Chains A and B, each alone.
Chain A
Amino acid sequence: MKINGKVKGAYLVVLLITTLLYAGCTGSNPGTQKQTLTVAGSTTVQPIAAKAAEAYMKINPGVTVSVAGGGSGTGIKMASEGSADIGASSRDLTADEIAAGNLKVYEIADDGIAIVVHPGNTLSDLTKQQIKDIFSGKITNYKELGGPDKQIVVVIREEGSGTRTSFEDMIMDKGKTNNTQNAEQQPSNGAVKATVGSNPNAIGYISAGYLDGTVKGLKIGGIEPTRETIKSGTYPISRKLYMLTKGEASGNAKAFIDYVLSDAGQKIVEDEGFVKLR
């Protein structure tokens, strides 16, 4: 019984200390509680949102902006449900989606979709028809494109991806031409880039903003995916990037989107490799 008493005493002390600690935490900063803003969706928009969030939080220390991926489908879904303050999409929304979620759509940047291969690949230029034939499985070997006798490993995005939808709209006859059954699925721009960058036989597509030395962006009909060609529309597969809110944006969500659309925000768009609006 004596031991029991001691144990009980110890419990009491621990309880007391914890209570005091909690009380201290909540008591010391009343009113300065951080506000949070969540941005989720397209992995194409993610780097823009993340950099903008960083800069925005420096100017507004009272707000925590958290940025998540998940794909455009997720972004549209979360904005409609209200589980994210801002959804991000790298494809056009259907009228149904806008109506169902009562969404307000804000255009934040232009972007191209780059067809990428391993840096060691000899391929440098494809026609739209060739790209369609590769991704639909009609062309399966690099020798059919004048390259070495190597099987082509096709890498695509998951069905919810905005980049995939945009790609299929522009190359695969609005999705009427099926992807080859042989295509490897990866769940983000980064994962496609890593897969293509590590396999000399792979070909995939990513947002032009993700282009760097680890993969080679191919020309399409002789036109390279650069800011100028994407902006002017001469690069044949480009699209717009969006942020979405449920109803008209207000409060922090509006302030954040305004920041992304400001000169400073558009500078981030450009620094991240995308094409600014103005």
Chain B
Amino acid sequence: MKPGDKEKTVRAALFLSALSAALILLFIVFFLFKEALPFLSHGDLVGFLTGTVWKPTANVYGAGIFIAGSILTTAGALFIAVPLGVACAVFLSEVAPKKAVNILRPAIELLAGIPSIVYGLFALIVIVGLVQQDLGKLLTGDSLPTGKGILAAALILGVMILPIVISISQDAICAVPRSFREASYALGSTKWQTIQKVILPGAMPGIAAGVILGVGRAIGETMAVVLVLGNVGMIPSNILGIDSRGETLTSAIMLDMSYVPVGSMHYAALFTLGLTLFFMAFALSMASEYLLAKRRRQSKC
């Protein structure tokens, strides 16, 4: 074997490995479509996307409740994770002494490594009780009928996406050129003014990309949500109490998958739910990719 041949073999092997990822994606999309096809071709798609009654036994498939449930819980999670995550990233990269960073960074990375079912159990045992008893007494003077719902789900999802938001925001902040900071200080700005007027605007595309990746994780999250969102076939219409419960695309798939007859219309409808979720996640990841590419053009970090 000549050295040149070996070079070629390695190149081919590496190319095949790289190709396999794209092929797997293609296969998944193909099978999602294939299984969803009976529903896509016969079902009423507008009714599917906007309907609010999901009753497979009566052949009524309105996934609007699940789409709304997914969007609302994710929005709630962002409401918690974005301010906290960005503040934490600013602190880590601009303010914190090296010692603090050395402790905080591994802690945040560990947070990302906790399995979602563990988050879910924690939420079910701790957060649901806190919301029902303590928060209820604090706000209404009495415990709430239930602690499950969008608040508990948003709280736990917020914590789950925090590591993504922090680490990508931190990268974005560190990518803001040193010369910008120096220019700002040279003009007599304080540290806070520099962060607010120079660093955050400069890092914004990167931070936005991190947030969008977080959205992708939150919208696809299943276990934690199934445990605490309450699994009620309604659109959440309140932050607390009985009307705050709902169901997401992921929890609907999980709850129905255990009993759906293979090959039935219901089965195809579940795959259509999966397809909907796939397209939502796909759009999000494209958006984040676009923003990150924009940042890469601007600077090198």
Contacts and interface: CB of A to CB of B under 8 A. Distances in A.
A143 interface: no
B234 A161 contact: no
B148 interface: yes
A74 B258 contact: yes
A159 B259 contact: yes
A112 interface: no
B248 to A, nearest CB: 13
Interface residues of A, number: 27
Nearest to A165: B57
Contact of A159 (B57, B128, B232): B57
A23 B261 CA distance: 41
A181 B232 contact: yes
A153 B258 contact: no
Contacts of A152: 145
Given A153-B146, A199-B132, A184 B232 contact: yes
B232 A183 contact: yes
Interface residues of B, number: 26
B148 A185 contact: no
Contact of B259 (A70, A150, A186): A70
B146 to A, nearest CB: 5
B285 interface: no
B231 A161 contact: no
Interface string B113-143: 0000000000000001100100000000001
B148 A184 contact: yes
B255 interface: yes
Contact of B255 (A150, A158, A199, A202): A158
B216 interface: no
A119 interface: no
A22 B234 CA distance: 54
Interface of B: 56-57, 128-129, 132, 143, 145-148, 230-234, 241-242, 245, 247, 255-256, 258-262
23 contacts: A73-B259, A73-B261, A74-B258, A77-B262, A151-B145, A153-B145, A159-B56, A160-B258, A160-B259, A160-B260, A161-B259, A182-B242, A184-B146, A184-B245, A185-B231, A185-B233, A185-B247, A187-B255, A187-B258, A198-B128, A198-B129, A200-B143, A202-B146
